[in-house]
Amino acid sequence: MAKAEYKTQTRQMILDYMVENPDRIFKASEIAESLPQVSLSTIYRNLSRLQEAGMVQIVGAEKNSELQYRYTGPGRCDEKMHLVCKGCGKFLHLGGPALKMLIFSVQRMNGFVLDQQQSVLLGLCSACSRRGR
């Protein structure tokens, strides 16, 4: 019984860390650095369980390396797509007229209906694009 409670506490610690940083994407190794009492393999196992529960989404890998995750807890980010900066990891919401136009255009031109909650567009934020020039 204590083992099950430990897993629950660990999962809650990981979730709390992500909730405290809602507009970021995370690598498991970054979470491990912030939660040194939790092993990297335990973090991966719990991220997988949180993903299955719909609390975490895999955003993708940076330069074909480590997977990145974002918090998608209950009611968070419904009806919004996301812009993720490949430079700093900043997470932005895309909503309003720009999103409506994008959804309409994709559906009209390709007959494809976007899953807004699962969609992420990668690029560079204004600060990172200025630094890159």
Q: How far apart, in whole angstroms, are the C-alpha atoms of residue 104 and residue 111?
A: 10
pTM of the model: 0.66
- As for how many domains the chain has, the answer is 2
Q: Does residue 72 sit in the same domain as residue 10?
A: yes
The CATH number of residue 94's host domain is 3.30.1490.190
Number of H helices, E strands in the chain: 5, 6
Kindly write down the DSSP assignment for every residue of 2-56, as one continuous string: HHHHHHHHHHHHHHHHHHHSTTB-EEHHHHHHH-TTS-HHHHHHHHHHHHHTTSE
pLDDT in tens, 52-96: 888 888 876 666 678 888 888 766 665 678 888 888 877 788 878
pLDDT in tens, 9-58: 888 999 999 888 877 888 899 999 999 999 999 999 999 999 888 888 88
Q: Which domain holds residue 67?
A: 1-76
Q: Does residue 124 sit in the same domain as residue 64?
A: no
